[in-house]
């Protein structure tokens, strides 16, 4: 795919192994992996203009290859409701990042559509030295971090394989709907797993990929954070 190859080639030419979030998301879009709408802003004026175009509430995040775990650096501000809050968030994000890593090179900020609270799932890929690219699926937060409730497959995967990855996690009943929690769009997750399989198969330069989290509700799945690391 043209845009994907261009982004990867350019990063490698610049000696950069970490793709910026807007780059990773542009690649996702080329592979039909749905992402929350976003715009990359170079300054506060652009950020304000973009927020107005996307419509409040928005999310603001730092874009820097030196800040990989953004919330750890205080570099993600969610639920920004108006221009005043955006100006304030913009200032705070820069202050927090400076405090976290004084030498971090900052490229700009990402203004993003605020996706309503829903179920968080994670899709990941790492390249196994023996088996090649693998795919991982799990539920976000404590399910992955503490309970290690994840499934793995070696790519490429079929749609049946993808569905199996989803149904095989212990927390699957939560996705199917539980008491007053409605079921989530399993189909949308299966699509994302299939498309991610294609993405990592097509691009052997990708060493690691993380869609973390993808927010899923009854009808849709939207990736709100994407990270790609190159070989
Ligand atoms: P990082 O993983 O680098 O710390 P994220 O981009 O994943 O940063 O943002 C941290 C958290 O903020 C996410 O796990 C998610 O819960 C929330 N978040 C991020 N972007 C959005 C968004 N567009 N809409 C809703 N929630 C979001
Ligand atoms: Mg994240």
Q: Express each pLDDT in 98-114 by its tens digit.
A: 999 999 999 999 999 99
Over 90: is that where the pLDDT of 74 sits? Answer: yes
- Pinpoint the alpha helices (H) of the chain: 2-13, 21-30, 44-54, 83-100, 142-145, 159-167, 172-176, 186-202
Pocket lining for ligand 1, CB < 6 angstroms? 36, 59, 61, 69-71, 76, 78, 112-115, 213, 224-225
Q: Whose CA is nearest to atom 20 of ligand 1?
A: 224
Atom of ligand 1 nearest to the CA of 36: 23
Over 90: is that where the pLDDT of 40 sits? Answer: yes
Query: Do residues 28 and 35 make contact, with C-beta atoms less than 8 angstroms apart?
Result: yes
Which residues are CB-neighbours of 138 under 8 A, at least 6 positions away?
121, 122, 144, 149, 150, 151, 169
In angstroms, what is the span from residue 140 Cα to ligand 2's centroid?
A: 10
pTM exceeds 0.85, yes or no: yes
- Which ligand ends up closest to the CA of 223? 1
Q: What's the confidence (pLDDT) of residue 33?
A: 98
Q: Whose CA is nearest to atom 23 of ligand 1?
A: 114
In angstroms, what is the span from residue 183 Cα to ligand 2's centroid?
A: 23
Compute the average pLDDT of residues 26-42: 98
Tens digit of pLDDT for each residue in 6-23? 999 999 999 999 999 999
Name the pLDDT band for 185 (thresholds 50, 70, 90). Answer: very high
Residues paired with 145 in a beta bridge: none
- Which ligand ends up closest to the CA of 62? 1
- Helix axis angle for 159-167 and 186-202, nearest 10°, is 120
């Amino acid at each position: 795919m043209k845009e994907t190859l261009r982004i990867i080639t350019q990063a490698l030419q610049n000696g950069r192994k970490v793709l910026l979030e807007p780059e990773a998301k542009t690649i996702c879009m080329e592979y039909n992996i749905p992402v929350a709408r976003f715009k990359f802003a170079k300054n506060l004026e652009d950020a304000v203009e973009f927020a107005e175009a996307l419509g409040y509430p928005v999310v603001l995040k730092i874009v820097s290859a030196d800040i990989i775990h953004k919330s750890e650096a205080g570099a993600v501000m969610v639920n920004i409701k108006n221009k005043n809050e955006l100006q304030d968030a913009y200032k705070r994000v820069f202050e927090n990042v400076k405090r976290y890593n004084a030498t971090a090179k900052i490229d700009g900020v990402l203004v993003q559509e605020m996706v309503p609270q829903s179920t968080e799932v994670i899709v990941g890929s790492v390249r196994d030295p023996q088996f090649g690219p693998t795919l991982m699926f799990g539920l976000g937060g404590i399910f992955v971090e503490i309970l290690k409730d994840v499934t793995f497959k070696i790519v490429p995967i079929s749609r049946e394989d993808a569905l199996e990855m989803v149904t095989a996690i212990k927390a699957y009943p939560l996705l199917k709907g539980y008491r007053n929690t409605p079921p989530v769009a399993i189909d949308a997750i299966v699509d994302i797993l299939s498309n991610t399989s294609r993405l990592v198969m097509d691009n052997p330069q990708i060493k690691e990929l993380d869609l973390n989290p993808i927010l899923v509700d009854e009808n849709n799945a939207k990736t709100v954070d994407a990270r790609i690391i190159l070989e």
